[in-house]
A and B are shown apart, each in its own frame.
Chain A
């Protein structure tokens, strides 16, 4: 704690700062709003020679992830950053990075997907690639973005899985906040040195990466990958515990805010969780037993843990900042409901699709949701999907 410095930084600056301290071997990236600054600031560090990184200014996000895969397979600590359409263009390579078990770390600034084209925040980009096999970590604010980036490197290299750390576009990426940063030495010690096990540049043990699996091996390899993502829960918790012990900021798979005696709870990810905390505090003053669950880790999904945390509430609202276009609940709500079903928890679950394309979510909106939850507890409101803040 003593070595920490308190500064004012935007989310993008915080992520770039973490990348400077991580000092990866290779960063390959392509500009896209609102993530551009992350790699733009980083390119400045490269230009000034204050990092050892080879910066590869590729011609597309597809090549960004392809170059990252090449670099990571060759044995290097490798990072990138993107958003929205960039993440979509990378999609093919995201699955491959995960299947090859490469510990690439990516900053993703959540932004709506086209069409219509829109540069503002929602989670549809990250949700689009939720099954790509990457560990997905959401950040509520600049501090979490910074802390998550440092932890992501350790998580990725221990779990042998790629990790994406997200912030909410503009809301966090361009919002300036108070940020406690570790000393360079502490950050360096925390992330440690990367020692790859098998890598292309090791000519003593030449390897073939990306072989063709047919009917006789593909299933087994995917099964192992499933096990790796399951096991990564423990890795994430171990790394968080070490980080918390050393630097005082504790993290888990999700955050529980005033959940101990909560009767109604909202489940929300990213910056909206911050807004929700303000409302919870206000409601608590009036005796309403409101709580919040903020999933930090969406992949692997903390199914059992989340159900356990929600077992005593009387009604739940799940806030989805994207829509699956599946004529049922949004992606987060589908997961939460599956978790509740297997835990035999049968309480009203209201799903709110909100904030698409950066539509503002206000305190009043969250307050409205808690009011509906109170109605649901008394049987006045049933399971349903609502679109919060839309004109219709």
Chain B
């Protein structure tokens, strides 16, 4: 695994000068993923913040081949690129080893792009799909998505006189992809570069479809100061709101925080949860804490249940 010094010396494949907000976590994800991947990487992106801020014609922040076509199809797009590569290699027209990486936000991955992602994972393409999950449609102005947590204030599930933000729990996409029995599935976070880059390196060393769901604090949509992005990511992990774990060939490996902090510590830093801190909304806070605990316990059970490795080979 590369150290930080080595990584910082690499030619940046995702350069500065893009138009992301100050403190944008998505740009950090793109930069660190490409640092870990290195050269000879083709990137496909869903429509969304990352694509919009990085490719305003005639500029591009991508020092590596990049393709964007639409919102719901990053997985299908990269599977087309990878299929052409396979065809050329078989025909003896191409020999270079290439990484194929797709980026999509949670809107483009959990919701509108889920079918495309599921299809690509099932077909077994040699691709890595990275979801930069900021828990809402941030590019269009903070609308709720399938990844938005219960209680969050968004513009399409706002806090009002009778409603207290999103009424549903978020869906567990990482587990949905794990259920595809692909060789590598993981959750990572902005704010732990070592975790993210080592997971990307590991994923790219494995043949077949890989998926990493990267929790990406968004200062605009979550409502915190831009210098706090990495810290926000780390608190998400410490509170078990976003556990870091891997599922390698069906075997779970969970990174446990030194001390599991209450969800309140995470919520209180974000204006999207401001209403939850009011005494009258204590039941909602308790509900969120209980759901987080249950999810965490379930994950630990999965880890113990799947150890030692249950080998599931991709056909």
Spell out A's residues near B (CB within 8 Å): 25-26, 28, 52-54, 56-60, 62-64, 66-76, 78, 92-93, 96, 100, 200-203, 206-214, 217
Contact = CB atoms under 8 A, between A and B. Distances in A.
A93 B68 CA distance: 11
B129 to A, nearest CB: 13
A53 B78 CA distance: 17
Nearest to A102: B69
Contacts, number: 165
B90 A52 contact: yes
Contact of A93 (B55, B60, B69): B69
Q: In this complex, which of B57, B83, B118 has the most chain A Cβ atoms within 10 angstroms of its Cβ?
A: B83
A54 B80 CA distance: 9
17 contacts: A26-B87, A54-B84, A59-B119, A67-B76, A67-B83, A69-B69, A70-B44, A70-B84, A73-B67, A74-B42, A76-B87, A93-B69, A200-B42, A201-B98, A206-B64, A206-B66, A211-B57
A20 B27 CA distance: 44
Interface of B: 39-40, 42, 44, 51-52, 55-58, 60, 62-70, 72-73, 75-88, 90-91, 94, 96, 98, 115-116, 118-120, 122-123
B62 A63 contact: no
The secondary-structure label for the interface of chain A is mixed
A200 B88 CA distance: 13
A72 B80 CA distance: 8
Given A63-B115, A208-B60, A71 B42 contact: no
Contacts of B88: 25, 76, 201
Given A203-B39, A207-B65, A209-B68, A66 B116 contact: yes
Given A59-B116, A76-B87, A70 B62 contact: no
A207 B60 CA distance: 9
Nearest first, the 10 closest Cβ-Cβ pairs linking A and B are A70-B80, A59-B119, A67-B80, A66-B76, A66-B73, A210-B68, A63-B76, A76-B84, A208-B60, A54-B87
Nearest to B60: A208
Contact of B55 (A58, A92, A202, A211): A211
A50 to B, nearest CB: 13
A54 B124 CA distance: 13
Contacts of A67: 76-77, 79-80, 83
